[in-house]
Amino acid sequence: MRSEMKHIFLNLKRFDVPVELGGVNRLAPMADWGAAIVRGTQDGLAHYDPAEVEFAMYLPEAHLLGAAAAHQPGRPLKLGSQGVYRVDTAVGGNFGALTTNRSASAVQAMGCESTLIGHCEERNDKMGVLAEAGVTGPAAAEAVNRLLNQEIKCAVARGLTVLYCIGEKSEEQDTWQQVLGKQLSIGLDGVDKSKVVIAYEPIWSIGPGKTPADKPYITKIARFVKEQTGGMDVVYGGGLKTDNAEMLASIPEIDGGLIALTRFAGEIGFYPDEYLDIIHLYMGK
């Protein structure tokens, strides 16, 4: 199954932290970082047809307003948040008593059209909180899936599209079908699937010294996801980069990818021109 629409997502994590504080930001001062990324990429995306490819960038919340101010109308670029809270505001109801949490209404008001939910780092955070309460194993994993389902529903109700991440850890590889199956069935329960794209993260293969998932494995998982979801679009969430862009583009069941860092050696970090190079390699134009 080859989708007519492609999706290129960008998760900028906390790449805004300056080098002297332990981060990898060599691009711009903190106050201008989000705007610098939008200014450095939107013109390079202008020749792509929005009917053929979707571009969305998920930024840390502090940078959404600057990015939105730099975004030029007509450019095929959506801004998104790195998650939403499982409870939203409501007229005549909760007016925003959500200290430290970002509601779907708040990120929509900041200019977001999309959000990232269920990234392995978010799942790990929620699992860690549950572990402190003595809840571990499959019970904790299912509870996390239920919480993520609430987040997805809040996002979709606000008109946001969702990139929903799923993936298995090394100790879950023998039971990957059950693990991914529950992430899909529980996470998407009662959700309008037309508003969601699935990102597959092979957590066991991500990181220094790990062996990247190969083409047959990625193909197998993408086929499984499409079978389980009735053909939802699936992107590779393990990192779309220069050295795998053409391989991923050759998999009919993969409908795009999730970019993070663009440079993994030397002056490690995210660089707009390298981001555009990755897209060119994947799209072939």
Q: Which fold has domain 6-283?
A: TIM Barrel (3.20.20)
Q: What's the CA gap between 246 and 251, in Å, rounded?
A: 9
Q: Identify the pLDDT of residue 207.
A: 81
d(C-alpha 234, C-alpha 175), whole Å: 20
Please give the pLDDT value at position 1.
Answer: 44
The answer to whether 82 touches 58, Cβ cutoff 8 Å, is yes
Cα-Cα-Cα-Cα dihedral sign, residues 21, 22, 26, 30: negative
The active-site residue out of 119, 151, 168, 253 is 119
Asked about 201 being catalytic, the answer comes back as yes
Q: Confirm whether 119 is a catalytic residue.
A: yes
- Residue 208 is predicted with a pLDDT of 80
What is the reported pTM?
Answer: 0.96
Parts of the chain with a pLDDT under 50: 1-2
Is the distance from CB of 169 to CB of 203 less than 8 angstroms? Answer: yes
Task: List the structure tokens of 139.
Answer: 């019970």
Q: pLDDT, tens digit, for every residue of 200-224?
A: 999 999 888 889 999 999 999 999 9
pLDDT in tens, 219-254: 999 999 999 999 999 999 999 999 999 999 999 999
| pLDDT given at position 3 | 60
